[in-house]
Every structure is written in structure tokens, then in C-alpha cells.
């Protein structure tokens, strides 16, 4: 029982960390706020966001394999498959912003150039899509916990 509580707590902590750093990216990725410090910060935030995503995945897998219910129970749960699919969608959506943040930082360090307005808007759109998919994952988790 203690192991289950620890695994659930770690999973929740990883999810909340992911939310914080995705929200920070969404808040900062605006052309009107773009400056050298923001470019550097976005790259750091994205690194932490990526580590949080790995922690979410790892803690979720730990719950599947070491939790009370076991892998055979989880494998039969359609809501889990929907959650994992949406998580993979978020991961795929995060690739372009990650590459953009790294490119922006590289260009800033090489030439002092900031990204253009159109590129910032495009990257922000992808970050915002991720930030709107995440509550759907939470909603599915709530329904699943209530027996759907």
C-alpha cells in the first residue's frame, strides 16, 4: 500500500512539474516579450519540460509494473490507451518547439539575432496546442478513476 502511494505521488509530482514548465513556455513565448534573456530561458524551460515528460512516463510505467493493480489490469483499460495516445501526441507536438528554442539560442549566441515574429507565433501555437491537450488527459484520468 505504501509503494502504491509513493508511486502515485511521484506520478502526480511529475505531472505538476510538466504543467508548470509547459505553462511557463506558453507565457514567455510571445513576440512582444522576446529578448535575449527570454530565448535563453525558453531553452532551459524546454529542457526541464522534457525531463518532466520523461518523469511522467517513467512514474506511469512504474505504477503499471510495480503498482497494486499490475500490468495485466492496465493493459485492458481503454482509458489508459487514450491517455498514452494523447501523451504521445503532446510529445510529437513538442519536437518542433524544442528544435526552435535550440535554434533560437544558437542564433542568438552566434549573431545576437532574435527569432522573427512569424516563427515565434508558429512555435507559440504548438505550445498552446500542447497546453490544451494536457487538460483532456487529466479529464480522462478523472473519468477513468470513477469507473469509466
Domain limits of the chain?
2-145
Q: 0.85 cut: is pTM over it?
A: yes
**Sign of the dihedral defined by the CA atoms of residues 5, 7, 13, 15, in that order:** negative
Cα-Cα-Cα-Cα dihedral of 85, 143, 16, 86, to 10°? 10
> Which three-class secondary structure state does DSSP give residue 111?
helix
Provide the H-helix boundaries in the chain.
2-28, 36-66, 70-75, 78-111, 117-145
Give the pLDDT band (50/70/90) at residue 70. Answer: confident
d(CA 7, CA 4): 5
Residue 62: pLDDT band with limits 50, 70, 90: very high
Helix (H, G, I), strand (E, B), or coil: what is residue 113?
coil
pLDDT at 1 over 80: no
The predicted pLDDT at position 54 comes to: 98
For the segment 54-81, the average pLDDT, to the nearest whole number, is: 92
Q: Which of 10, 1, 4, 18 is nearest to 138 (CA)?
A: 18
Q: What is the pLDDT of residues 82-134, one digit of tens each?
A: 999 999 999 999 999 999 999 999 999 999 999 999 999 999 999 999 999 99
| Whole-number pLDDT of residue 73 | 86
pLDDT of amino acid 118: 98
Amino acid at each position: 500500500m505504501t509503494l502504491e502511494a509513493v508511486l502515485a505521488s511521484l506520478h502526480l509530482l511529475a505531472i505538476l512539474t510538466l504543467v508548470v514548465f509547459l505553462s511557463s513556455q506558453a507565457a514567455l513565448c510571445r513576440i512582444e516579450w522576446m529578448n535575449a534573456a527570454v530565448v535563453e530561458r525558453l531553452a532551459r524551460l524546454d529542457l526541464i519540460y522534457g525531463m518532466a515528460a520523461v518523469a511522467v512516463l517513467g512514474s506511469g510505467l512504474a505504477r503499471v509494473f510495480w503498482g497494486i493493480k499490475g500490468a495485466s489490469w492496465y493493459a485492458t483499460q481503454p482509458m489508459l490507451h487514450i491517455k498514452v495516445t494523447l501523451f504521445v501526441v503532446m510529445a510529437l507536438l513538442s519536437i518542433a518547439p524544442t528544435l526552435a528554442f535550440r535554434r533560437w539560442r544558437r542564433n542568438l549566441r552566434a549573431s545576437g539575432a532574435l527569432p522573427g515574429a512569424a516563427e515565434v507565433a508558429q512555435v507559440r501555437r504548438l505550445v498552446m496546442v500542447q497546453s490544451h491537450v494536457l487538460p483532456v488527459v487529466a479529464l480522462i484520468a478523472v473519468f477513468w478513476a470513477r469507473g469509466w
